[in-house]
Structure 1
Amino acid sequence: MSIKYSVLDLSPITTGGTPTDSFRNTADLARQAEKWGYNRYWLAEHHNMPGIASSATAVVIGHVAASTKTIRVGSGGIMLPNHSPLVIAEQFGTLESLFPGRIDLGLGRAPGTDQVTMRALRRDSRSDGHDFPDQLAELRAYFQPGNKPVRAIPGEGLNIPIWLLGSSGFSAQLAGQLGLPFSFASHFSPNNTLPALSLYRRYFQPSDVLDKPYAMLGVNIIAADTDEEAQRLATSMQQQFLNLIRNKPAPLHPPVDNMDELWTEYEKATLQQQIGSSIIGSPETVKRKLSAFIHETEADEIMVNAQIYDHEARLHSFEIVADLQHS
């Protein structure tokens, strides 16, 4: 259990809440996470999602960094095909200039949204993720000093750690070949976790960034004082994923007593495929299951995601997990 723990925050918008509430809660959780010893605090880019407030990801990163003092803050991730690499270099160059030594740039190649919204973001269909390696090379070049016709200012000459994010094998292999740290989305792609990690470690080439592989795994962890309370809290996350597979994204709903009244057996099985690796329970249960997960995956770092409706219950969950680091 002596590895680093970090936070993934989707800045959830709850039923009856507003984005203003979400950002206030995000800043509060970040301050507490810093106090509890979490290593980094990442926010994720999603669009056209009524339950997620972090669409302007770089802006929210600035809000979190300004609300904290020492914790690393970054993106988990920026969906690079949605953007000009130059704009991302300038945005994160600005963040690193404002908060030196604290900014991470995690990059994904998925749209983070539906196809219609993707077209609204990209304005054309040429960038569908297949040119992600070229976009990544362009982005990394903007951070390098030297004579170039187009320069990222701020950005040029800054050392901003770049991570590749993935839920399948593509980015795992690319991260390995480039010698970059890799973060895998076990929290919604559990069945691909071990194959992706195997690819990453097999293809890894030492680089100026890393001399050996470094893998961080996203995990849904919902902790409470008892197994029963944690299972009830987890129904908010289950409802959120249920709404997504029904193509009806919605704000994060309050917990319910019985999910069997809401989903079909087929939907329940589908959700099990997506979030079946979630760790839900009391401190003892979480410690046991998390230890087994770390042992199986040989993760270098764990990034905790907790979609919990009540803010105080969410804080308590993250505090329970933090205590495991020191127990």
Structure 2
Amino acid sequence: MSAGDTARYDASAIVVLSGLESVRHRAEWYVGPLDERGRDRLALNAVEEAANEILLGRGSRTDVTLLTDGRVRVEHDAVHASPLEQELTLLRAGCGPGDRRLVGRDSSGLAVLSALSERLVAVERRDGVTVRHTYARGEQTLAPTVTGPADRTSTTLTFRPDPEIFGPTAPTSFDTLAERLRELAFLNRELDFTLTGDGRSARFHSPGGLREFVAHLGGDPGDTVLLTGVDERIGADCAVAFSRSGAGGLRGYANSVRTPAGTHLEGFRDGLHAALLPYAGCHALRGALAALSGVVAVRLDLLRLRGPGRDRLAEDPVRDLVATAVRSALERRFAEHPERATELLRPR
């Protein structure tokens, strides 16, 4: 900044943003690139908020509908613990310890959805009454209105991503949402989604959890190793199987967020290497990983991701926890089936 610029900078240059204006002013902080990716991320934020209500035990299903006019409707059979009006207008703050059961990387809540929607209508059915809430770009346009009786409990959010923020993008992507709902269902067996739109409909519910996920990735469902590690603030679940296609792969998740790098995956490699050492000395690990399909899913009370894309887990205790669990489980499997260790070490 030059001396002239310094001289011109005073209190008159400060802009005070009220309400949810700050979200609209820096929308990319909350949903990423302001194109079709951000538009899809906005819809997924609504889905993940609904999923969290289910994971907290308040409901059992979530229905997502992509309407033909570009709106998105997300309905779940639960009601929020906090008043819905508060959820839609107040941005959550703070980064203290949370609940490891919940999915997603952010705690900004439904206020971001409200701020970045051209129009949002929320209908809450509880205690025998239906209440309608209406918002436009984060501002309440009508006071909550009782519209009639209710014979069930549910919350429905219908919104249109704001073209002032995202531009004239195509409608929300069925395929993008389907991929994410499938992941969430594999990682959280309590979740049950339906997705309708674009002339298609699909259900995502996986009682088999990570075993089904590994099979989806090409692993042999009949030869899957499941393992768990837990301490005071971290939980880790892993599933690994021989790849049926010969082209294996390892996926990592932290609080159900896809994390392609980090200490959880390093811990898996450490544990695999340690379990194979008695059979291979110092043979390369790369060939063994290529023969496996696996998922490493960790849950933390306080999720902190690093890197430009906030997709790298950098918690050292996670590495030790995962490595110990993987080593113990695979040592038992190799002791029972030493041919499996030999197969992993076969040159490829």
- Rg (Cα) greater in structure: 2
Indicate the structure whose relative CO is greater, using CA pairs within 8 Å and at least 6 residues apart.
1
Would you say same fold, with TM above 0.5?
no
The normalised TM-score by structure 1 is 0.26
More strand by share: 2
